[in-house]
Amino acid sequence: MQITGIKVYRVELPLYEGSYKWSGGRSVDVFDSTVVAIETDEGLVGYGEVCPLGPAYLPAYAAGARTGIAELAPHLLGLDPTQLHLVNRRMDESLRGHPYVKSAIDMACWDIFGKACGQPIVTLLGGRYGENFALYRAISQDTPERMAAMVGKYRAEGYTKFQLKSGSDVATDIARIHKVAAELRPGDVLVADANCGWTQHEAMCVAAGVRDVNVYIEQPCYSYEECLVVRQHTNRPFVLDEVVDDLKMVVRGYNDQAMDVINLKISKVGGLTKARQIRDLCVSLGIAMTIEDTWGGDIITAAIAHLAHSTPPEYLFSATDFNSYVTLSIAEGAPQRQHGRLAASSLPGLGVNPRLEILGAPIFHLATAK
């Protein structure tokens, strides 16, 4: 099988709640998502999606995803999309870094691989654990009172894991954590995710202020070194996210005992192929994971479901159903949240059919000359 064409679509994903706010006053109103279609000489088409959390979260931005895919496309024509490691090697040889650019392409190749062998990706990633898995709900940054009030709303939707967007001033964040924690029930999970928003001394103050609260602390500071200092001084379980962007960082963090949990975002590490390698290493090392992406719609939600559902439950800390945050469905067949839980499709590949009438005309198309 050979790749004969690559198309890129752009789609805007509005939010049910109007906007999503996190540390440093950053927010997004409408997500700018990119869908890639990879065509083959055997008629199979695979789809992938990448959707950065705006341009100020990670070194990634939506227009960069699209120009990056256009840059890579000529290097990919003629390759066999089912040879995932060869495709990734070619991408890494052709374009240094830029893992998020490569993520949608890798995802689309997994979709083709699954369709070619008649298997859902969850099976190809090792197999399905149980019926479904638990999701977390992010609570957009707001006043402590309004954030606490959201717990009941989300619990009514079935969620029992809550991720509190913090990372602003110390007193308000301590109040947020206490107020939200007061709404928890036995068995609920609360994570205070600062998204790099505290300086080291601020993070130390927050950690001290919540030492008797049942809360995890996620990515308090910008650098790995700052986070490590905070980790060494807090009694709370600790999650690293933004700084864990490849396999070497997992090894370094493990050797330093720098975290209990990592947040594994598919596009942050370059796609399902590399996310699977990190996932399997973490299982071997005993590190639990939140499995998700920076953002996305139905296609990314499907990919998350395949990776999360093939992860041993004791190491799957949580996962995200981004398609229930956004008002637009871009693909049929995507997994839908039920009672706060999600399951991977049983259909071949990702198990989704993009709604081409929603995606519109491709903004980029490169095909093999006939």
Task: Clarify whether 165 is annotated catalytic.
Answer: yes
Nearer to Mg ion by Cβ, of 263 and 311: the residue is 263
Q: Give buried/exposed letters for 203-218 (b at 16+ CB in 10 A, else e).
A: bbebbebbeebebbbb
Strand partners, 342: 133
Residue 322: both structure tokens together: 């981004």
- Which residue in 7, 161, 165, 268 is the catalytic one? 165
| Candidate ranges 41-49, 165-173, 239-247, 352-360; the one touching Mg ion (CB under 5 A) | 239-247
| CB of 197 vs Mg ion, minimal distance in Å | 11
Nearer to Mg ion by Cβ, of 73 and 269: the residue is 269
Alpha helices by DSSP H, the chain: 62-76, 84-94, 99-117, 121-124, 144-156, 170-181, 200-209, 224-233, 247-255, 266-269, 272-285, 298-309, 356-359
| CB of 237 vs Mg ion, minimal distance in Å | 14
| Candidate ranges 10-18, 25-33, 166-174, 258-266; the one touching Mg ion (CB under 5 A) | 258-266
Residue 343 DSSP symbol: -
| CB of 234 vs Mg ion, minimal distance in Å | 17
Nearer to Mg ion by Cβ, of 202 and 242: the residue is 242
| CB of 165 vs Mg ion, minimal distance in Å | 9
The residue with its CB nearest to Mg ion is: 241
d(CA 303, CA 146): 32
Query: Residues near 67 by Cβ (< 8 Å), separated by ≥ 6?
Result: none
Nearer to Mg ion by Cβ, of 241 and 298: the residue is 241
In one letter, which amino acid is 32? D
| CB of 238 vs Mg ion, minimal distance in Å | 12
Work out whether 245 is an interface residue with Mg ion (CB under 5 A).
no
Nearer to Mg ion by Cβ, of 107 and 239: the residue is 239
String marking each residue 263-292 x if it binds Mg ion according to CB under 5 A:
x-----------------------------
d(CA 353, CA 171): 47
| CB of 290 vs Mg ion, minimal distance in Å | 8
Q: Token pair 């009694």 is at which residue?
A: 235
Label each residue of 306-325 as H, E or C.
HHHHCCCHHHEEEECCHHHC
Binding residues for Mg ion, rule CB under 5 A, total 3
Given a contact cutoff of 8 angstroms between Cβ atoms, the answer to whether 341 and 308 are in contact is: no
Name which of residues 138 to 197 contact Mg ion (CB under 5 A).
193
d(CA 31, CA 276): 26
* 52 φ/ψ sector (left φ>0, alpha ψ -120 to 50, else beta): beta
- Which residue in 161, 265, 268, 274 is the catalytic one? 265
| CB of 137 vs Mg ion, minimal distance in Å | 13
| Candidate ranges 2-10, 147-155, 226-234, 259-267; the one touching Mg ion (CB under 5 A) | 259-267
Q: Token pair 């036995």 is at which residue?
A: 186
Q: Token pair 């399997």 is at which residue?
A: 280
Work out whether 241 is an interface residue with Mg ion (CB under 5 A).
yes
| Candidate ranges 53-61, 71-79, 83-91, 236-244; the one touching Mg ion (CB under 5 A) | 236-244
Which one, of 150, 154, 164, lies nearest residue 195 by Cα? 164
Given a contact cutoff of 8 angstroms between Cβ atoms, the answer to whether 26 and 54 are in contact is: yes
Work out whether 293 is an interface residue with Mg ion (CB under 5 A).
no
Distance between the two ends of the chain, CA-based, in angstroms?
16
Nearer to Mg ion by Cβ, of 259 and 305: the residue is 259
| Candidate ranges 3-11, 175-183, 261-269, 333-341; the one touching Mg ion (CB under 5 A) | 261-269
Task: Clarify whether 274 is annotated catalytic.
Answer: no
Nearer to Mg ion by Cβ, of 8 and 227: the residue is 227
Q: Which residues are catalytic?
A: 165, 265
Which positions touch Mg ion (CB under 5 A)?
193, 241, 263
